[in-house]
Each structure stands twice: as structure tokens, then as C-alpha cells.
Amino acid sequence: MDPIRSALELARTLSRLGHPAVLVGGAVRDLLLGRTPHDGDLATAAPPEALEALFPSLRRLDRPGGTTFLLPGPEGLLHETVSTFPGTLQDDLARRDLTVNALALDPRGLLLDPTGGREDLLAGRLRFTGEGADRLREDPLRALRLARFAAQMPGFAPTPDAVRCCREFAFPLGTLPPGRRGGELWRALGTDPARFLRWVRLLGLRDPFPELPPLPASAPPFLRRTCARTSDPVARAAALLETLPPQDPPAPAETLLSLGWPRGALRDLLALLSLPRDGEIPDTPAARRPLRQASPENLRRWLLLDSLRDAAPSPNRRALREAALRRLALPSRPSLSPKLAAHLEALPPDLRKEAGEAAQDRAFLEPGMGFEEALVHQLRALSPPRVDAMG
């Protein structure tokens, strides 16, 4: 079901039960910009206890500005978000971060705009609601969110007053929980990282991610080329991290995990960063094995990133690219002749694993050689008489 239609239907239900509710925030902003919202957030003055009685399956999150409930939708996915607030809806909208996010739509289609957000949308302005200093004192992360919205919304820019407030406030963002800060960086990677880095600098946000080496003041060429070719946040994150100054020792996986990035994407990112970057690796199967064992998605990312680097061509680099392309063409579970399969099965488990991995390495690295031929060579090396007897 369409998330906005579903959210407005829920708002009607709450209103009929005596708890007026409205669609708020980014969904209303995107509707006014002619974009398709991906979720629907509601706000209501209903007491949290009333919502819990109406929807026993919702998840409750208590926050300083009110209580937020996450409602499960089809197949267990989170559907709508319902936030409660003390006081009036006008007060709630006036305390939000930006005027373009302080918009509400009631179930009848009436737009509520107490801070001039619609006019700012038309003008391409990103402006704090009320006094910018007050909004930043309430939540210093709003300075980083401002940079992210400037990257997310082409044609929009913070107002001079918003820039001045951020620069004067100068809160040490690195002291905020890493998951909150890291979430903004991950969202920025999916928008326009170059604009995000530029606004981080223009807003005077110093060292917002102390877990990482210092961010560049502007996007390096490698990151720009990557963003021009793909919107994949994993590939973009790899390009960003590769352009940062090296750390000694390198940041452990736990550091990136603390930034709150999606676990599946982070797993892919760490595996991608472990692959060779310049083609100059030892000529051994063990050194090449990470490339052979990479997922097809990461192999495609690796090929893309390798094609965008400034590294000079080399025989080893070409060989690795050709090997990666062959790996993409290899079946995930190669079929074997009955006799060869029986011979492999007769080996002790450790030798069977060794033979299979060595054969995959050889098929991966040698042009024109299939897995079955490579396996025969490997089995002959392990037990020549028995394999030769197979004919």
C-alpha cells in the first residue's frame, strides 16, 4: 500500500477516536516538491498510553521531545512512525529543525505551515525554525543534518543566518553518540557527498567524525568519479575511506560498526576494503584468494573502483581484472563428472577442501582453464596413481 495513503488513513482513524493526527516532516516536504515520499510520519497529541492501548504491537521509543512509536506493517516491516508531543501541534512544528521540515498535512488535505516552510521551499532556502541558536542548543546534531540536507536537496542552500549560527555555535560534534553522527554520513553518501563535504566545511563543523581520519575539505577526484558512476553507498563509502589519510594502526571494524551504518552494507564494505587495490600483490593463491572469494556484487564494485583509480596500468593489474571477470563468469557450484565427483568425495575432508580451493584458484587465475580441468590437475598432484587410473 502507498505509504502516504496508509499514513493518512491511520491519521483519520486516530482522529475518529478523538486523537487528531497529521502527516508531518519530510513526507509533506517531498509531496510539495513533487517527489515520491518513501515513508509517512504522523504526529498526534494523543497520550502515549492511548496509542499503546490502540496498537498493542507497536514499538515505543521515549525521546526528550516526546514519544515515538514504530508501527509494524506487512511482513513485519516498519510501516508508519507516530510521534506524540506535549502542548499543541503548532508548538511541535515550531520546535522542528528546519522550516521545510516543519510542515503538516491533515487528513482533509489542509496544509499547516506555521514557520513559512512552503515559501522557503519555493525559494530553495534551508532555514532554522525560530532562533537557530535555540534549535542547535536543543540538538547540536542539527548542524550536521543541515549539511546533509544541503547535499540531499539539489538547488537548496542554508541561509546566511543558518551558516552564521552553526559557525558561532561551534559545538564539538564528535562528543555526540557515534551512531547518530554516522547515520548522517551514511545518508549523505547516498545523496551528493561532494556537496556534503563542502557544507561541513562552510558551516565550520570541525572533526564531526573523530573515529575516522579528518574528512577532506572538498571531495577528492576519485570520490567524485565514483559518485558520477554509481549511487551505491557501499562503493561510495569505499572511495571516501580510501581517499582519507591512512591511520596507524588502521581503524578496526568495530569503529565503523559504531557509526551505525547498516550491518549488511558494512559487511560488504569491510570485505571490499580487504581486496587488493593496486594490483601489486604476491604471486600466490593465498594472496589472491580474497578476490576469488568475493561476492559477485563486491567483484563488480572492485572492477568499477579499479577502473576509476589513477593507478598506472601494469601486467599484474590487468591479470587481476581479467581474473575478476572470469570469476564473475564461473558458476557458483561447478558441475563435475560422476567419476570425478566420486573421487573427490573419497578424499579426507581436509584434502577435499584443499583440492577444491586450489582448483578454484587455478580456474580463477588461468585463462582458458575450467574448474573441472583444474581439479583434475590438483587431484593428480595429491594422488597421481588413483587419478590417472580414472582414464
pLDDT at position 161 over 80: yes
Q: Residue 195 has which C-alpha cell?
A: 556537496
Q: What percent of the chain has pLDDT over 70?
A: 83
- Please give the torsion angle defined by the CA atoms of residues 21, 27, 29 and 33, in that order, rounded to the nearest 10 degrees: -130
Strand partners for 22: 43
Closest C-alpha among 205, 139, 135, 134 to residue 167: 205
CA separation for the pair 68, 52 (Å, rounded) = 11
pLDDT at 147: 98
Residue 31: per-residue pLDDT: 92
- DSSP class of residue 156? -
Which band of pLDDT confidence, cut at 50, 70 and 90, is reported for residue 278?
low
d(CA 188, CA 191): 5
How far apart CA 375 and CA 339 sit, in angstroms, is 12
Q: Name the pairing type of β-strands 66-72 and 111-112.
A: unpaired
Instruction: Enter the pTM of the model.
Output: 0.80
What residues have CB less than 8 Å from 27, skipping those under 6 apart? 3, 4, 7, 37, 39, 40, 41
Residue 375 or residue 239, greater confidence: 239
Fill in the amino acid letter for 208.
P
Calpha distance 9→30 (Å, rounded): 19
387 within 8 A of 343, measured Cβ to Cβ:
yes
pLDDT for res 156: 98
Structural Rg of the chain based on CA atoms: 27
**Average of pLDDT values for 228-241?**
96
Strands (E), 190-235: none
The torsion angle over the Cα atoms of residues 183, 185, 190 and 195, rounded to 10 degrees, is 150
The span from the CA of 65 to the CA of 297, in Å, is 41
Say how far apart CA 132 and CA 164 lie, in whole Å.
9
Extended strands (E) in the chain: 21-24, 41-44, 59-63, 66-72, 78-84, 104-105, 111-112, 125-126, 157-158
Grid cell, residue 205, equals 563543523
* Percent with pLDDT over 90 in the chain: 42
**341-379 pLDDT tens trace:** 787 787 788 877 777 777 776 776 666 667 777 778 777
Per the prediction, the chain carries an average pLDDT of: 83
CA 220 to CA 343: how far, in whole Å?
54
Give 9's pLDDT tier (boundaries 50, 70, 90).
confident
Every domain of the chain and the residues it spans: 1-121, 124-272, 285-329, 338-388
| Residues in contact with 220: Cβ distance below 8 Å, sequence separation at least 6, in sequence order | 243
Comparing 239 with 366, the larger pLDDT belongs to 239
Instruction: Quickly state the pLDDT bin for 29 (edges 50, 70, 90).
Output: very high
Angle at 107 between CA 105 and CA 109, to 5 degrees: 55
Angle at CA of residue 360, ends 359 and 365, nearest 5°: 100
Q: Residue 87 and residue 253: Cα distance in Å, rounded?
A: 44
- Say if residues 86 and 67 touch (Cβ distance below 8 Å): no
The one-letter code for the residue type at 212 is L
Question: What is the model's pLDDT at position 349?
Answer: 82
**Alpha carbons 208 and 259: distance in angstroms, whole number:** 11
- Cis peptide bond prior to 249, omega within 30° of 0: yes
Architecture of domain 124-272: Orthogonal Bundle (1.10)
For residues 205 and 173, is the Cβ–Cβ distance under 8 A?
A: yes
Residue 167 has pLDDT above 50, yes or no: yes
CATH number for the domain running over 1-121? 3.30.460.10
Rounded Cα distance, 271 and 250, in Å: 15
